[in-house]
Amino acid sequence: AQSVTQLGSHVSVSEGALVLLRCNYSSSVPPYLFWYVQYPNQGLQLLLKYTSAATLVKGINGFEAEFKKSETSFHLTKPSAHMSDAAEYFCAVTSGGATNKLIFGTGTLLAVQP
């Protein structure tokens, strides 16, 4: 069975600092991995996804993530945080087979301090 673990339910950074949100996965088949962002009182928006085409994936709003099979990780980074990045971030993996069922991590709430 597939699963996702997000380390750190709350992360706080200063504006302009590096953002690093951690995600580790468990999968018995080659995974497809996603990062979604949720702004307050809104739905989820796709930031980026890994579909095996390239291990370094660039997404919207300056975010990127690197797929590391040896570490079973898919950490999300952004070189310089902006106040508008404050949101909750979810890592997810699809369960494989002929379905599109997403398995979500528990989320990381990012706070950006001025």
Partner 1 sequence: NAGVTQTPKFQVLKTGQSMTLQCAQDMNHEYMSWYRQDPGMGLRLIHYSVGAGITDQGEVPNGYNVSRSTTEDFPLRLLSAAPSQTSVYFCASSYSPVAGGQETQYFGPGTRLLVL
Query: Are the beta carbons of 65 and 91 closer than 8 angstroms?
Result: no
Cβ contacts of 111 within 8 Å, gap of 6 or more: 10, 11, 12, 13, 86
95 binds partner 1 (CB under 8 A): yes
67 binds partner 1 (CB under 8 A): no
40 binds partner 1 (CB under 8 A): no
d(CA 7, CA 89): 12
d(CA 50, CA 38): 19
Among 78, 85, 94, 112, interactor with partner 1 by CB under 8 A: 94
Chain length of the chain = 114
Closest contact distance (angstroms) between CB of 53 and partner 1 is: 10
Q: Which is nearer to partner 1, 1 or 114 (CB)?
A: 1
Residue 31 tokens, joined: 């995974």
3 binds partner 1 (CB under 8 A): no
Contacts with partner 1, residue ranges (CB under 8 A): 9, 29-30, 32, 34, 36, 42-46, 49, 51, 90, 92, 94-102, 104-107
